[in-house]
Structure 1
Amino acid sequence: MRYAPILDRLSGLGGAKWDVHFAAVEMKRKGRDVIDLTIGNPDVPAPAALIDRAAEAMRAGRTEYSTGRGEETLRAALAARYARRTGRPVGMDQVLCFPGTQTALYTVIMGVAEPGTEVLVGDPMYATYEGVIRASGAVPVPVPLRSENGFRIAAADIAARITGRSRAILLNTPHNPTGAVLTTEDIDAIGAVAKAHDLWILSDEVYEELVFDGVAFVSPFDRTALADRTVCVASISKSHAAPGFRSGWSVSSADFAERLLPLSETMLFGNQPFIADMTANAIAEPSAVAAGMRTRFAARAKYLDERLAQETALRVHRPEAGMFALIDVTATGQGDRDYAFGLLNESGVAVMPGSAFGGTLKGWVRVALTVDDSRFRAACDRIVAHAAGMAEGERA
């Protein structure tokens, strides 16, 4: 039997990167006490008011078909939100609704890339980025994110990798897995490169509301000179602790949205009306849960940094936003995968190998900040004890 080439392009880019997580799940199933720091699930449930709104909408019959663009109430709420953020008019015709950021990004990339083209993307990157790029037939071009630059993507590094096949720059700010947030200067410099080479800027902004105190969020879409070449995607998954509702969107120029619409409609003809009603309520004002998550995640990252700096040779990269911190494990002499599996098997703490996110993070692991404080402190105790055991073994 014959298969489509897309399946070959995506081979090995799915769940294989999450083997440490799956091993942890299996260990827990068998009764092992495992503290799972691999997945970025919010540490609070979705607000009751949102669940109530979705239930009310279902009971009111809001379970019929939607439009291909998404419900007007939600698109109006999103247009108003982005108009407030940018300080310029944003119309409903610039908004398309999708089941989550992932689907929005997949559709957007399919709309700008094609076989033989290239998409420049920071390395490390969120685990599915390579897949959504390769699905289009395009090739991801990794741009190293340097720890000495706070893991912020640099315009000069992008420019050095541009070819005649380059089609788009994929940004993620705030960034997963590093927690880096691009500055105004970063955005303007990247925008200048995009304009000089006529490139799209695709901006994944799902962590926008999880920026820590003292750090400012900046989007290329908010820069008037870059707006027509920028497409931003986001959702309520992180900001409103509602990943299971799968409610996301894209915001772009009206022309881009119009041209992308038929592709969107062939995948999913609009989102569910009752989820759209809930989402419209959610984004009309600041999230009821985001501020608490920001505070807790920042505090846990600080605690992790201080504990490991004082008691081990491991080095922590403190995030500026998001749900994760990074640990440099090169001092152990082990690679990131060996370290992660050793920590899991010997200490019952599951972390993600950095190499799952790209070559730049070989020698690092990603730690989710999303378990409660007591479990997180226990995880830190185990990481410290594991490091001490490794150091003792080296001395022996």
Structure 2
Amino acid sequence: MASPSNERRQFLGLLPLPERRFLADALRTETVGGVLLLGAAVIALIWANVWPHAYETVRGLTFGPSAPLHLDLPLEAWAQDGLLTIFFFVAGIELKREFVAGELRTPSAALLPVVAAACGVALPAVLYTVVNAVGDGHPAGWAIPTATDIAFALGVLAVVGSHLPSALRAFLLTLAVVDDLIAILIIAVFYSTGITFWALGAAFAGLVLFWFLHRRGVGRWWLMVPLGVAVWALMHESGVHATVAGVAMGLILRCHREEGEEHSPGERIEHLVRPLSAGFAVPVFALFAAGVPVSGKVLGEVFTEAAPLGVVIGLLVGKSVGIFGGTWLAARYTRATLNPQLTWSDMFALSTVAGIGFTVSLLISDLAFVDDPHLAELCKEAVLVGSLTCAVVGTLLLKRRNRYYRQLCEEEDRDSDGDGIPDVYQRQG
């Protein structure tokens, strides 16, 4: 009999029951958020194409104090820099939790989603760069097709893959968490300009104070929320993208449980803030970011201009092949083995769905082409085209396996004695 150290770890096997319950709650919120996100994107497209003047007027409304931190911003910028900070705050908590309690807490378990996410970022960037090098295009947009939109992807799964095994859904969520970390680093390093060091130093001091108060057990919202807003405003003034402040504060929160705690502070705060992020912040951002003109001429430019074409190819080919290839390589050359109930065709279908890039891709489109609004709009159009194509292809691939997924989920959820613990976990015990 093989020793425990030599046993192969099952990849996408049954999750521990507490982790399964936590993920079920998180996925439920993100799935609803995905539906709202889709609705907001549709409204934005209709509004921008039927009443374009009204859309641009509302999006350009400016308000906020001009001194001392230059926060007199248009509504579009408030949605982009302000509301998305809530989204990245939740992403920061997710990252911290994954590192201390989730799939990323051990190197062997973390290797698969980390390699898959890294390949799913690298290949789209390479394909975009190649297309733009050949077509004499614009290399600055290389990061646009690198991000997976977890809310949108889970919204698709809710419609067509409602009976996916929990481990497969958890893999998508973990993959997106790592993907978000890479996207955050890309934004901070490549899309921050004109650094104002006094503001950056003050923002860092605010983060240190936030850490100190949190470690001292100070959790009063009327103190921590204003402090968080001040850190965000200083980060915005510093020239580093303001959403980085949200990630930093999320990473500061304690996500491990101490003796006598049912939930850690990070878990409690994430439970409170996640519905605000998925149900309000991200859909409102989409409302003011996804309104791009749709016409035969514009769609023609998407497939003839190098930059938007690189985005479409990056999402459709780069993300799906990169994620699937990275997963296969990690499983092939590590001790992980695929759950025998699943097939590699399931993984390819999931990888295709992960090619849905929306929220962060729209954000990077604006950041990459801040001096060329027309090209930014074309790249946003390309994000919509590429994401829609990935959704359709992923739907077709997943749909044929949904009956089999239903049987797996029924087996996972069966609770014959009604004690709240699925039978499969009791059989393991």
Give me the TM-score of the superposition, normalised by structure 2. Answer: 0.25
Q: Higher relative contact order by CA 8 Å / sep ≥ 6: 1 or 2? A: 2
Q: Which has the higher strand share?
A: 1
Q: Which has the higher helix share?
A: 2
